[in-house]
Amino acid sequence: MDRLLQSIKIGVNDKIYVKDPESSSLGKRIIEDSIIMIHDMGFDKFTFRKLGDRIGSNESSIYRYFESKHKLLLYLASWYWGWLEYQLVFATNSIANAGDKLGRAIEIVTQTTEEDSSFSHINEVMLNKIVIHEYSKSYLTKEVDQENKEGYFEIYKRLVGRLSEMIAAVNRKYSYPSSLASTVLEGSLHQHFLLDHFSSLTDCQEHTDPTDYFKNLVFNCLNKPNHV
Amino acid sequence: MDRLLQSIKIGVNDKIYVKDPESSSLGKRIIEDSIIMIHDMGFDKFTFRKLGDRIGSNESSIYRYFESKHKLLLYLASWYWGWLEYQLVFATNSIANAGDKLGRAIEIVTQTTEEDSSFSHINEVMLNKIVIHEYSKSYLTKEVDQENKEGYFEIYKRLVGRLSEMIAAVNRKYSYPSSLASTVLEGSLHQHFLLDHFSSLTDCQEHTDPTDYFKNLVFNCLNKPNHV
DNA sequence: GCAAATATAATAGTAATACTATCATAACAT
DNA sequence: ATGTTATGATAGTATTACTATTATATTTGC
């Protein structure tokens, strides 16, 4: 990706944080290092105290940015989906043919994040792995309905909506565009997880990856099996 | 389901528990009431202390059966998948035609559990909801590879394997039978979750349910779109 | 350049969690 | 009646996920 990314800002719902972490250097270190730590030790073992120790700051200062580690996870996930949405729109915007557009969209949302844009403090490669391993925990809670009402999942829902519309544009008669879009997004995370931990449960490997699988799946569902 | 269920025992890996909960009445109450409590309050807020209070037993006694609440979740999930596997085999065993067999299999694994068999202390309706809301938490951990080696996910893997073979039997040329099988099982849980909490992300409702969606999806992938 | 405002740090404290350890008692089997 | 096993009661521990308070930097306005 190019330098445009340097200047765009992902618009995370401001109710997710107490103070915008993009507004200070401490905030940026909280984001940068929490990504590394959650990636390395997992969300469950990650604590604000450990993060404070690592960045040479105090636990209480971190609470000035996020009221809980759950909110921090919501923030990281929202940022990731916003970033992916940007990639999606950027890469598909100029494609006129609906089938080509959808094919490109599936590539964007299912492929492994390979490169850190290295323009920001955010390591997208690690963040992608965090989303694969931890995203479900952000909504598999008793508070999900309340938090959904407060808009904490807006970006993700918008992304599913975009994919759903691209699916519908290819075949208006297909009955399940939203279910298929949510299956591709969630299923992609799951296939990548299986690849790492349960390889017998997936056919994806070096030569066939989740992208191939999902393109085949989606275009077969839409009765355009030879499109890509 | 019939009385056969009364006498079969689901063979959960015996490394998951310290003492077999099926071997005593306290053990059975632990299972019975933990299902109700996890269903009602969610796995995160559930504790052995609260369970002890509820069943009039002591926290320390519960630890004689399960060394952690994580192991209890693994037990409940294994039991559920074993039970579902039994349903699957029972319902599809006598079907000769590969397409019919697969269709029935998809119905079994994607439909909402509607009836408590009421032969055992286990409420399958609640357990199904627990699996929808909590199953991911049993493997989204840093210990997953170790626990996988110890066989804690055997039954689930066997179930994916069975479904995968049924898929392959319908179309030997299809390249992704395992990925598709895992997508159906995991995706079904996800669609049921969306139905409850993010209805805008699914097309499943009263008249089209996850079963319809996944039958359409699978048979389209296998190029037998008119089979069911 | 200085005071006021704001941001961050340090320290302490709390209720709950997820256990472990020890000892006592109840039930059950021979 | 005795020994064995299961369960219960109590206490204790390290950690977690915070909150509260006070002190010290740092920045900003004038």
| Mutation to test the A interface, candidates B160, B179, B186, B205, most A Cβ within 10 Å | B179
Please answer yes or no on whether A144 and B221 come within 8 Å at the CB atom: no
The whole-angstrom separation of Cα B69 and Cα A47 is 21
For position B225, what pLDDT does the model report?
79
Interface-testing mutation among A110, A133, A153, A182, with chain B (most B C-beta atoms within 10 A):
A182
Alpha carbon of B193: minimum distance to chain A alpha carbons (Å) = 9
- Kindly report the bases of strand C lying within 7 A of a protein C-beta atom: 7-12, 17-22
A82 CA to C6 C1', in Å?
31
Distance A58 CA to D25 C1' (A): 14
Give the whole-angstrom CA distance, residue A41 versus residue A35: 10
> CB-based burial of residue A95 (10 Å sphere; 0-12 exposed, 13-18 middle, 19+ buried)?
middle
pLDDT value at residue B5: 52
A206 residue type, one letter: E
Judge contact between A187 and A109, C-beta under 8 A.
no
CB B54 within 8 A of CB B37: yes
CA dihedral angle for residue A172, residue A173, residue A175, residue A178, rounded to 10 degrees = -10
User: In this predicted structure, what is the pLDDT of residue A175?
Assistant: 93
Q: Please check whether strand C approaches the CB of B25 to within 7 Å.
A: no
> What residue ranges of chain B have pLDDT lower than 50?
1-3
CA torsion A171-A172-A174-A177 (nearest 10°) is: 90
H-assigned helices in B93-153? 98-110, 124-139, 144-149
Residues B44, A137 contacting (CB under 8 angstroms): no
**Residue A23 burial (CB count, 10 A):** 11
Q: Which residue has the tokens 């005593």?
A: B24
Q: pLDDT by residue (tens digit) across A183-192? A: 999 999 999 9
Nucleotide in closest CA–C1' contact with B66: C19
Q: Are A106 and A211 in contact (CB under 8 A)?
A: yes
Does residue A63 surpass a pLDDT of 80?
yes
First-to-last CA distance in chain B? Answer: 24
pLDDT 10s digits, A100-158: 999 999 999 999 988 777 668 899 999 999 999 999 999 999 999 999 999 999 999 99
Q: Which nucleotides of D are covered by protein (CB under 7 A)?
A: 6-11, 16-21
Q: Which nucleotide is nearest to A58 (CA to C1')?
A: C9
Confidence band, pLDDT 50/70/90 cuts, at residue A70: very high
Angle made by CA atoms B33, B39, B45, in degrees to the nearest 5? 90
For position B226, what pLDDT does the model report? 77
Q: Of all residues in chain B, what percent are helix, strand and coil, respectively (each to 5)?
A: 65, 0, 35
**Min Cα separation B134/chain A (Å):** 7
The predicted pLDDT at position B120 comes to: 80
A196: CB within 7 A of chain C nucleic strand: no
A190, A192, A216, B81, B116 from B11: Cα distances, Å: 27, 29, 37, 10, 20
- Strand C contacted by B43 CB (< 7 A): no
Domains assigned to chain A: 13-221 (1.10.357.10)
Nearest-angstrom CA–CA distance, B74 and B63: 15
CB of B49 under 7 A from strand C? Answer: yes
